[in-house]
Amino acid sequence: MKNNLTNKAADNIRILSAAMVDKANSGHPGGAMGGADYANILYSEFLKYNPDDMSWPFRDRFFLDPGHMSPMLYSVLALSGKFSMEDLKNFRQWGSVTPGHPELDTERGVENTSGPLGQGHTMAVGAAIAERFLSARFGEWMSHKTFSFISDGGIQEEVSQGAGRLAGFLGLSNLIMFYDSNDIQLSSETDEVTTEDTAKKYEAWGWKVLTIEGNDTEAIRGALKIATEEKEKPTLIIGKTIMGKGAVTDGGDSFERKVSTHGQPLSAAGASLDKTIENLGGDPKEPFQIFPEVEELYKKRQEELRQWVKEFEAEKEKWEKANPELAEKLESFLSGDIPEFDFAALEQKANTATRAASGTVLAAFADQVENMIVASADLSNSDKTDGFLKKTHPFAKNDFTGAFLQAGVSELTMACVMNGLALHGGVIPVCGTFFVFSDYMKPAVRLAALMELPVKYVWTHDAFRVGEDGPTHQPVEQEAQIRLLEQLKNHHGDNSMLVLRPADGPETTVSWKMALENTDTPTALILSRQNIKDLPANSDRYTDALQAEKGAYIVENDANPDVILLASGSEVATLVDGAALLRERDGLKVRVVSVPSEGLFRNQEKAYQEEVLPVNVPKFGMTAGLPVTLKGLVGDAGAVWGLNSFGFSAPYTVLDEELGFNGENVYKQVKIFLGK
């Protein structure tokens, strides 16, 4: 009897999924129909959450990887009372809460934005790490599970290797992933592109692997029971499901296991929507309804969950009374409050590389910011995240008392994991690598910007001055690419990313202050490999550098300047050298401006922008990247000295001379620019 009701609930999800796609005349019904059995059992029997507060921090999480299977997620959440039938009818329409691929909506039960395959389940790895990190500090009473759902496409995406390797290595037994293995993808069957043994692959990474009939109620239930009791390994449940389960033609013949139902409505694929709905026990005239007995099933589950939450909260209260200081700390972590930190007291070495200055800040964070997790893609001693690492130790299987993630050589995996950490909450994620490898991270950085996640990126070796490693390791166009996210607005109308390229050690300290205080968007810190001369101080250099909080500020200023020189990063010091020559040799009046963030500067009042960069004064910019990076600031009448080609292999001092990044060339180019 129980299984009959369970199967009816799964059929309800299938009907709603197919109807949503057909009504929108757009979408992917087949996978949603095949995965419905697992989704139903997970939500009606296993997933633990607070039905009255979906953002309750002690809940299990469910991360959907194949965003095209959103109809399945929206439908099961509709059974759970989080979406209305009107919401489902408006699938993929303007202004609806049911976009084509799920977008982060915690209150309705959508834990992650998904779409680019592979990222969703890798975020789940991050959430599972966050749970282990917090449980290691506050106790197993608060432990919970992270469930994920992946498709054939997600398994094929390269990022799945990084996620699988990392989760297995760390023994994330709190991570349970269902692989919807239906052997169908968008344009072909899977045997046309792969013959790998997925089970053996995950077993080699250290996962427990269970292979079941993915539409069999008892098999799913049994696998989930085993997985939730596992204590040593993450679990992969390979469910051999049926694409378009229940789909039939006008004549009533089966239309299951068809490539055509992957990416188009059933009626366009060759099946009959009405006959399919009838076959699944629904009413073709009114497909958007929840069967009464299914509604009761989910209401009963809601009551069970409410009772469980009540019992959990009672235990939590006992723990809080017994551990008042820990309870206060946990509340601080979970609230997302910015930890107190005295940036003014932090001492930087003079004339240091900004990557080293960043390492100094991170070392201090390791002592004082207790919920920060720092990661590096096998470059901690080069990107100077080892400043943090030296004060803690890396995560290892059964040991999450440290706060450092050795991600290995897998930048995209690392970036996706950072998103998962941020989505889980309670921690501050930071990750580092060479700036040129931001190319590998960009898909995850984009999703962080879209989801408005406060991930901090430490990108070092910021220019051609990487030197002898040559053009493969020398970023040129990367800054222009990343700064586009300063111009792109998120759905709250804010810059989707804060991008900072500090000009010296004190400005790096201020940049970290800005990064820590930015809880609304991702932050990028673009840092130098080579040492940089500190900028001249008008008072205390740190106090001067606080002006960077407005995105741009005046470093040196002569009254009524003849020319304004502007840059970010190490080129600001080069402009200071050039300005000295312009004054000494030609008596020119010069203003030097540091612009760590054009996007932030553009957010300031117009009066401040014009105070720093008056319209009627000629402007000359210098950048180690593409000249377009500064073009918007110098204006059409201005000039920019930048790099228009890939870099070259040579010591950085030679490159500076050969490519014209020195005070002498600043003098020369400004003279040409001014026609003097």
Checking 215-221 for CB contacts under 8 A at 24+ apart, the result is: 215/10, 215/34, 215/37, 215/239, 215/241, 215/242, 215/245, 216/37, 217/3, 217/6, 217/7, 217/10, 217/37, 217/41, 218/3, 220/37, 220/38, 220/41, 221/41, 221/45
Q: How many angstroms separate the CA atoms of 254 and 19, rounded?
A: 18
CB 222 within 8 A of CB 210: no
Work out the angle at residue 262's Cα, subtended by the Cα atoms of residues 259 and 268, and round it to the nearest 5 degrees: 85
CB 32 within 8 A of CB 14: yes
Considering all CA atoms of the chain, what is the largest pairwise distance in Å, rounded to the nearest integer? 94
Q: Six-digit token pair at 285?
A: 């005239």
Please give, one letter per residue, the 3-state secondary structure of 21-44. Answer: HHHHCCCCHHHHHHHHHHHHHHHH
Residue 80: count other Cβ atoms within 10 Å of its Cβ.
21
Q: How many angstroms separate the CA atoms of 676 and 666, rounded?
A: 14
Residue 200: count other Cβ atoms within 10 Å of its Cβ.
10
Residue 132: count other Cβ atoms within 10 Å of its Cβ.
23
Annotation marks residue 479 as catalytic: no
Q: How many angstroms separate the CA atoms of 408 and 203, rounded?
A: 19
Tell me the CA distances in angstroms from 643 to 621, 629, 672, one per residue in order.
12, 10, 18
- Indicate the SS3 state at residue 460: strand
Q: Six-digit token pair at 428?
A: 């501050």
- Indicate the SS3 state at residue 392: coil
Residue-wise burial string across 460-493, b where 16 or more C-beta atoms lie within 10 A, e elsewhere:
bbbbbbbbeeeeebbbbebbbbbbebbeeebeee
Angle between helices 292-322 and 2-24 (to 10 degrees): 100
Which amino acid would we find at residue 466?
V
Q: DSSP alpha helices (H): ranges in 384-500?
A: 386-389, 411-424, 438-451, 478-487
CB 448 within 8 A of CB 498: no
Alpha-carbon torsion 305, 311, 312, 313, what sign?
A: positive
Q: How many angstroms separate the CA atoms of 93 and 99, rounded?
A: 7
Single out the catalytic residue among 411, 479, 486, 598.
Answer: 411
Place of tokens 């996640």: 453
SS3 of the chain: helix, strand, coil, percent, to 5: 50, 15, 35
Cβ neighbourhood burial of 317 (10 Å; 0-12, 13-18, 19+): exposed
Q: What is the tally of helices (H) and strands (E) in the chain?
A: 27, 16
Positions marked active-site: 411
